[in-house]
Structure 1
Amino acid sequence: MYLGVPKEVFPGEARVALTPESAKQLQKLGYDCLLQSGAGAAAGFSDAAYREAGVELLDTADALWAKADIIAKVRQPEDAEIGYLAKGKTLISFFNPGGNQDGLEKAKASGANVIAMEMVPRISRAQKMDALSSMANIAGYRAVIEAGNNFGRFFTGQITAAGKVPPAKVLVVGAGVAGLAAIGTSTSLGAVTYAFDVRPEVAEQVESMGAEFVYLDFKEEQQDGAATGGYASVSSPEFREAQLAKFRELAPDIDIVITTALIPNRPAPKLWLEDMVKAMKPGSVIVDLAAERGGNAEGTVADEKVVTENGVT
């Protein structure tokens, strides 16, 4: 049985669904592995490394989709890729069935099997297959590294013969998988780290990692922002106003803001507004992990570095 991996067609996507190491493991299970030539280059895996691992390389996507029984990829398939599906084939990828009705109908009409990786339940025994969490973990870590790269000072405080430098103050908005990874990285680098989330039960997790949970002075019966699958749910207008008021209070003192708030198949909620950006000190940094869905911060442009008039990156 052939398992094939095509080159990702989404602009800027560097990931690949098969590494030389995972190819060796799959071959032990009895699969023959195929790869479109160049598919791993952006991820740092050469065609030679795949050949050495026993992977057969094919020149074109057409050839790969035609020969493979199982196709594994990272991004949600585009229309042209769904057109390759046929009865008896199986596609394993992110698919977003909740917000990709058109793709779902086309896949159904093809007679193929589709396994949507974002539908893996977030439970202990499924952790090895929880691709959403593994990607979010990397994103949270990377957000702090990107912030540090764009921030002009130390994360940790410094006391030297030349003087004293205070530690950076970092606010992480959203303490899901990405947020907790960002908190862990930020605290390990020595920053004073704060975190906010609409789910009160995550306060203990935040504090166990050395950060301070930001509480709201807000009373509402059973205010709990948790939804199924570990995501936040939509907050009430009153809760949102209390949340924004707290962010306005914090903005002048915070050096780095990392926003991670997403609700599946909805535009990203706007949480860090223009007036908050203007209240921040020059040299401050905002890293918006919700950029692909419109961003949590006003002024965010996906995949672009924006510097405001008051010097906030």
Structure 2
Amino acid sequence: MGLTIAVTRERREGETRCAVTPDTVKALIKLGAVVTVEAGTGAGSYIPDADYAAAGATVAADTRSTLEGADIVLKVRGPTAQETSALKPGAIVLAMLDAYREKETVQALSGANVTAFAMEFVPRITRAQVMDVLSSQANLAGYRAVIEAAAAYGKGFPMMMTAAGTVAPAKVFVMGVGVAGLQAIATARRLGAVVSATDVRPATKEQVESLGAKFLAVEDDEFKNAQTAGGYAKPMSPEYQAKQAVLTGEHIRKQDIVITTALIPGRAAPVLITADQVATMKPGSVIVDLAIENGGNVEGGRLNEVVTTPNGVQIVGHANLPGRIAADASALYARNLSAFVGLLIRDGVLALDLEDEILKAAVVTHGGAVVHEGVRG
């Protein structure tokens, strides 16, 4: 039968994305694979089963028949226990495993003798840009965060001059200027808001200003050295955090909308806005917390809820914002996976080279063991 690639329907609550599109089915077939897709896989992204079939995939009726004999399995989230039990030993799984938190899933994959790659661990190097799921999904999350904020906010974003008077523009403050933050800035600016942003990484100042937003930070010596070699923010000292809190606290009080995006890999999300700071904001203000699934950047926020505080501030805690723009999120993620699969196949057969720097960084389980140091520890 040759090399087989299987894609199952996502079963995690609230997950609307899928791991393959008709376009990537064609790309995978060109690599020499036979592709099987479980019925209903694309439903949340408005992709009918017939479109997969037209692209050359076999549409299977259920999970077990989809996974039977599969060499490579593509997922959005980590496989369920039912899916893992149906995998053959030596199969390869590609997914956003959330490996630091989903320890049971990782252990199950190890016990099933599956080689599992966590797509969130793909290194941010030039050669791997096309496989960078964190960037592709964060970009859409930043866009969607502004749309959610606009929906919750009871006023308009742009300045509007009318015969009945002038409507002032909304003031938007973005905290954390990674991929999501930059897209949030750009989107808020397009909608006509007055935008400011902050980040502990000095390299972001120029990026923020290039988008027409104002940069806000305590620019001391610690700030100048606050970025890792991989481009992530370092944890800051309590002293710096205190100084930054004073500066941002005064700024937050004047804002209509705040969007928080700060994440540190392998750790709980840092608290950027305290309950006391929320209490200083105007009634009708909105906070969108993109880090809510990792504990949240905002005190008082709750996962999958919109909390209205006693002073009338809404804290939006929707999980999986990319899943709220599922068709585009699936298209980008599927391309990320398709590019990664290209590293695993040579001349139509599996050629697993765990010395390749991308595969080495992303592999979590192999040979019946958890092999990623950060996850294993």
Alignment TM-score, normalising by the size of structure 2: 0.78
Q: Distance in 1 between matches of 2:49 and 2:190?
A: 37
Shift of 1:221: 4.8
Distance in 2 of aligned mates of 1:62 and 1:239:
53
1:73 partner SS: strand
2:178 to 169, 176, 179: 176
Residues 138-217 of structure 1 mapped to structure 2, 5 A cutoff: 138-216=140-218
Percent of residue pairs identical: 46
Trace 1:214-225 onto structure 2 (pairs within 5 A). 214-216=216-218, 219-221=220-222, 223-225=224-226
Judging changes above 3 Å, is the alpha-carbon distance between structure 1 residues 229 and 103 closer, same or farther for their aligned structure 2 residues? Answer: farther
Residues 221 and 170 of structure 1: CA distance in aligned 2, closer, same or farther (over 3 Å): closer
TM-score (norm 1): 0.94
Alpha carbons 2:78, 2:105 under 8 Å: kept: no
Answering whether residue 286 of structure 2 is matched by residue 269 of structure 1, we say no
Which residue number in structure 2 is paired with residue 296 of structure 1?
Answer: 297
How many residues matched? 312
For the Cα contact (< 8 Å) 2:283–2:311, is it kept in 1?
A: yes
- Write out per-residue CA displacement over residues 87-146 of structure 1, whole angstroms, 9 at most, x where no aligned residue: 231111122445555544443343322222112111222111111110000000100111
User: What's the secondary structure of 1:279's corresponding residue?
Assistant: coil
CA contact (8 A) 1:277 1:312 kept: yes
- Higher RCO structure (Cα 8 Å, ≥6 apart): 2
Match of 1:308 in 2: 309
The reply to whether residue 241 of structure 1 matches residue 272 of structure 2 is no
Give the CA RMSD over aligned residues.
1.8
User: Cα distance, 1:289 vs. partner?
Assistant: 0.2
Deviations, residues 50-79 of structure 1 (Å, cap 9, x unaligned):
222222111211221223221000112344
- Within a 5 Å distance, the mapping from 1:1-313 to structure 2 comes to 1-100=3-102, 102-216=104-218, 219-221=220-222, 223-313=224-314
CA distance in 1, matches of 2:223, 2:163: 52
Alignment partners' CA distance in 1, 2:193 and 2:137: 24
> Counterparts of 1:249 and 1:183 in 2: how far apart (Å)?
20
Structure 1 154/7 Cα, relative in aligned 2: closer, same or farther at 3 Å? same
Task: State the one-letter code of the partner of 1:70.
Answer: I
Paired residues of 2:70 and 2:87 also in contact (CA < 8 A) = no
Structure 1 stretch displaced more, 237-246 or 20-29:
20-29
Report which stretch shifted further, 83-92 or 174-183: 83-92
Write the deviation string for residues 256-276 of structure 1: whole angstroms up to 9, x where unpaired.
000000111211111111111
Runs ≥4 in structure 1, deviation > 6 angstroms?
A: none
CA distance in 2, matches of 1:77, 1:180: 31
Distance of 1:113 and 1:287 partners within structure 2: 37
Which residues of structure 1 form unaligned runs of 5+?
A: none
CA shift in 2, pair 1:107/1:124, >3 Å: same
Q: Which moved more, 1:106-115 or 1:174-183?
A: 106-115
